[in-house]
Structure 1
């Protein structure tokens, strides 16, 4: 639902808002966004689109850790940045809470220690505070997950680029999942990275 906001910076805001509202009216109830999508624009427009819509009508997921197009500053898994990111996302989305927080592209952390010692603990802290302060959060069973391992064309029919850092075991599992969907659903399952989202010099994912 956020691709039009994410991929097309000049996509008319009123059209994006109307698209989101119509999708929810027709039954779509899961929205995925991130600070990286449109560099904040996705969350900002979604905040406007969701205004006035009953909160129980949808689930919304956002992310932390990936923020800019510059490879030197793209990722920040620190406690301070993670806390600031969640607060900024809530501000842009005009919400008191989100249903899912994902750690974006965890494989690009310098090492797993920062994820274990900084990113996840601060997210768990924020979740605990949300549970204490919001009955809505408690009812929805807010949790912390990390899903970056299946991104970057791992689930596409063509397969990942050579620079994909996932283990061979994970690549094999994702290939089997894509083949299964191709046979059983008679359509291709693909996770696409738009070339416009990649830093200069990075190869575009095949799809």
Structure 2
């Protein structure tokens, strides 16, 4: 727990010097606010843009932030020093996840306020967002560890971000594509966010997300052990 806290504090401090990371935390909440307040179409739900941008936020921001942080620390040698200091993989990813998920949850909280959700709807919205963000952090962390530089990490992160974030939006307009989108965790997140009702959320959504998280975590631990601790 001590190592996780140290990593968390380090990342918070580094954010002040890394404006690119700060922008990722703020971009989608800001865009959702602009669109919600400026675009009003008859028949369109008030929180339409909140839900749309929330899914994109969950599928994009944690991936690019995690991959950027880890690839940058690999290049600078900071990650190697942590390993030599006996920081375990689960402690390292735990600190990174706390930082990223915490920052993104603040953004989602702002979005829920803009949407004027009730307390129950806000809690459900944040819990669903939390699960999706954890999976995205794992994916971004895997990319960061497997790539040898920030440039390569970005080249891998961008296609992944596009796939995971835009699939729910495309599925909402194309029923045939929705059958393919079902295989992606962001599609499950989208369907749950669009409901925000515990009685309507089906168990297979949660089961699918748990499976995704477990697989992503196991893959991260394998990659962390193979790529870093054995170098």
Q: Fold-level match, TM-score > 0.5?
A: no
- The one of the two structures with greater contact order (alpha-carbon pairs below 8 A, sep at least 6) is 2
Q: TM-score by structure 2 length?
A: 0.24
Q: Which structure carries more helix by proportion?
A: 2
